A and B are shown apart, each in its own frame.
Chain A
């Protein structure tokens, strides 16, 4: 169990540029989540995948955001035409499913995005 990994850890970009983040979940976990965390706040849910299917998206996920999990393993989160308000920590989590008592989410280290 190597844990959830995310790359890059930090990203600085100019407003209007596109950025893409990657998340590699724990290998046996079929559920994957993306969250956004702004300063002074707890993580807020963005989207959820079960295997390769994106089953839920938050209203926070505007049209400029897109997430994929093409083979049910790693996932990418892309932000197009970045805005300064997109500056945040983007966290990925994974879980194994299997029922409420076992479906605990484990988090990666996050990608901190700064939009200048």
Chain B
């Protein structure tokens, strides 16, 4: 069974500092991995996805993530945090289900606080 583990339910960074949100995955097949962002009382917005092409994936809003098979990790980074980055971030893994669709399993989320 596939799963993701997000280390740290809350992360605080200063404005302008590096953002690092950790995600480790477990999958029996080559994984497709995603990061979504959720602002308060909103749905999930796709930040970026890894689909077995380049291991360094660039997303929206200056975020990027690196797939490391040896570490089973897909950590999300941004060089310089902005106040508008304060939100909850979800790592997710997908696999082909018996029903023929991509079965997506989400982590429990990491709330990012940006301190002015």
Contacts and interface: CB of A to CB of B under 8 A. Distances in A.
Contact of A103 (B43, B102, B105): B102
A65 B59 CA distance: 36
A42 B99 contact: no
Given A43-B106, A56-B99, A107 B36 contact: yes
B100 interface: yes
Contacts of B107: 42
Contacts of A45: 103-105
A7 to B, nearest CB: 13
Interface string A26-43: 000001010000001111
Interface stretch (B45-53, B62-70, B75-83): B45-53
Interface string A1-21: 000101001000000000000
A101 B43 contact: no
Contact of A40 (B32, B34, B99, B108): B108
Contacts of B44: 43, 91, 93, 107
In this complex, the interface size class of chain A, counting residues with CB under 8 Å from chain B, is 20 to 34
Nearest to A32: B101
Contact of A109 (B42, B100, B109): B42
28 contacts: A4-B43, A6-B43, A40-B109, A41-B108, A42-B109, A43-B44, A43-B106, A45-B104, A45-B105, A48-B97, A48-B101, A50-B99, A50-B101, A56-B98, A56-B99, A91-B43, A91-B44, A95-B101, A100-B32, A100-B102, A101-B52, A103-B101, A104-B46, A104-B49, A106-B46, A107-B43, A109-B42, A110-B43
